[in-house]
């Protein structure tokens, strides 16, 4: 493994037991996050972004199972860790922020107490830890931070609550921050503020971020690299610049065409990609995007495309059109 690699997901598959059979939520996921880089994880709702994001810190729903592959965090496989080892990396090295800040906050305990508790592994007295918590709240833009330590989560507005969660997530100076749609529930102005804050904090703390979003503009703003997911597979990945300027997969091209920020003609109705996600209990043969693809041809219905190189180093896409162009 490259020493600069913090996280490497290798051929990861995850299944959920459901009443209609085994749902193959993730299949053969490969990705890499270097130290200190920001990677965007993009795809329509139901593509498996949250399943992947949660599995990175060893969190999987009770009916979920890793059916293959590995998640190497600094070389150690998260999928093989004991509960104690998982608690250890979650407490020190990996932090998460969620779409709904209340997921991470306890409604009946003050912010100050929760920020103290999260530092239980850190050295120092309680007074020092409270001071550290207040400094962190100040850093994320909470006015009158020291006095706010005595407040309960419901006393903050939605945007302020997400700032509190960011402060808590970064208090342990993690190497990896996983953010699952942290701005989706906020209005556009707050979203911009939170993105700016994340970018500043990432530079100060030099942590890597996996940033999950279905909003392409936000990913373009914040991220260095981007991974596109469709129906439980990685269909394209590369630097934000390469993928957004030169999308190689028809799914990425279609998503970009649907992005309001890029639309050339004003319209009242947002365009969407026609068709639906395939049934993941009975995964179709061939390319997973074939039923919705404008460029579909015979091979797409029978053979599964691998992530192939494009003309640009580090930029890959899983599409038979690339093989057809002769670069594999
Ligand atoms: N606990 C679960 N049990 C059964 N199916 C699940 C569970 N969690 C997620 N899924 C299914 O896995 C797929 C991926 O879901 P998810 O990771 O939440 O997607 P996203 O975050 O991209 O919207 C979906 O088909 C979803 O219905
Ligand atoms: Mg999700």
pLDDT at residue 210, rounded to an integer: 97
pLDDT at residue 328, rounded to an integer: 46
Residue 14: what are its φ and ψ, rounded to 5°? -130, 135
Cα(231)–Cα(24) distance, rounded to whole angstroms? 9
- Going by alpha carbons, the residue nearest to atom 5 of ligand 1 is 16
> Is a pLDDT exceeding 80 seen at residue 218?
yes
Domains of the chain by start residue, with CATH: 5-93+174-327 (3.40.50.300)
279 lines ligand 1 (CB under 6 A): no
pLDDT at residue 102, rounded to an integer: 86
For residue 48, report the distance from its CA to the centre of ligand 1, in Å.
6
> Is a pLDDT exceeding 60 seen at residue 263?
no
213 lines ligand 1 (CB under 6 A): no
For residue 312, report the distance from its CA to the centre of ligand 2, in Å.
30
pLDDT at residue 325, rounded to an integer: 64
43 lines ligand 1 (CB under 6 A): yes
> Is a pLDDT exceeding 70 seen at residue 23?
yes
Ranges 46-50, 181-185, 311-315: which has the least confidence: 181-185
Per-residue pLDDT of 86-145, as tens digits, reads 999 988 899 999 988 888 899 999 999 999 999 988 899 999 999 999 999 999 999 999
pLDDT at residue 267, rounded to an integer: 58
pLDDT at residue 265, rounded to an integer: 55
Per-residue pLDDT of 289-298, as tens digits, reads 999 999 999 9
Answer positive or negative: Cα dihedral of 73, 79, 80, 85. positive
> Is a pLDDT exceeding 70 seen at residue 262?
no
On whether the CB atoms of residues 305 and 312 are closer than 8 A, the answer is no
Cα(237)–Cα(306) distance, rounded to whole angstroms? 12
- Residues 248-275 have a mean pLDDT of 76
pLDDT at residue 266, rounded to an integer: 56
pLDDT at residue 215, rounded to an integer: 85
18 lines ligand 1 (CB under 6 A): yes
The atom number, within ligand 1, closest to the CA of 64 reads: 1
pTM listed for this prediction = 0.93
């Amino acid at each position: 493994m490259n020493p600069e690699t913090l996280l490497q997901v290798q051929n990861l598959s995850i299944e959920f037991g459901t009443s209609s059979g085994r749902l193959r939520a993730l299949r053969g996921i490969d990705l890499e996050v270097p130290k200190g880089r920001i990677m965007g994880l993009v795809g329509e709702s139901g593509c498996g972004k949250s399943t992947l994001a949660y599995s990175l810190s060893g969190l999987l729903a009770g009916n979920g199972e890793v059916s293959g592959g590995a998640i190497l965090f600094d070389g150690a496989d998260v999928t093989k860790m004991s509960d104690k080892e998982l608690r250890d990396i979650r407490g020190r090295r990996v932090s998460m922020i969620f779409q709904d800040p209340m997921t991470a906050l306890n409604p009946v305990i003050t912010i100050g107490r929760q920020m103290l508790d999260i530092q239980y592994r850190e050295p120092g007295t309680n007074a020092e830890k409270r001071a550290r918590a207040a400094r962190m709240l100040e850093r994320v833009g909470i006015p009158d931070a020291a006095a706010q330590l005595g407040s309960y989560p419901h006393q903050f507005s939605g945007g302020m609550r997400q700032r509190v969660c960011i402060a808590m997530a970064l208090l342990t100076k993690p190497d990896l921050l996983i953010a699952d749609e942290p701005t989706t529930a906020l209005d556009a102005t707050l979203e911009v503020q939170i993105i700016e804050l994340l970018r500043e904090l990432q530079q100060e703390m030099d942590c890597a971020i996996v940033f999950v979003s279905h909003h392409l503009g936000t990913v373009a703003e914040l991220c260095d690299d981007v991974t596109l997911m469709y129906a439980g597979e990685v269909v394209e990945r590369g630097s934000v610049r390469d993928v957004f300027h030169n999308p190689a997969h028809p799914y990425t091209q279609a998503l970009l065409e649907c992005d309001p920020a890029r639309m050339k003609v004003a319209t009242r109705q947002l365009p969407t990609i026609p068709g639906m996600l395939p049934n993941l209990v009975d995964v179709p043969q061939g390319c997973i995007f074939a039923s919705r693809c404008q460029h579909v041809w015979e091979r797409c219905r029978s053979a599964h495309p691998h992530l192939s190189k494009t003309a640009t180093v580090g930029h890959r896409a899983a599409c038979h059109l690339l093989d057809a162009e002769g670069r594999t």
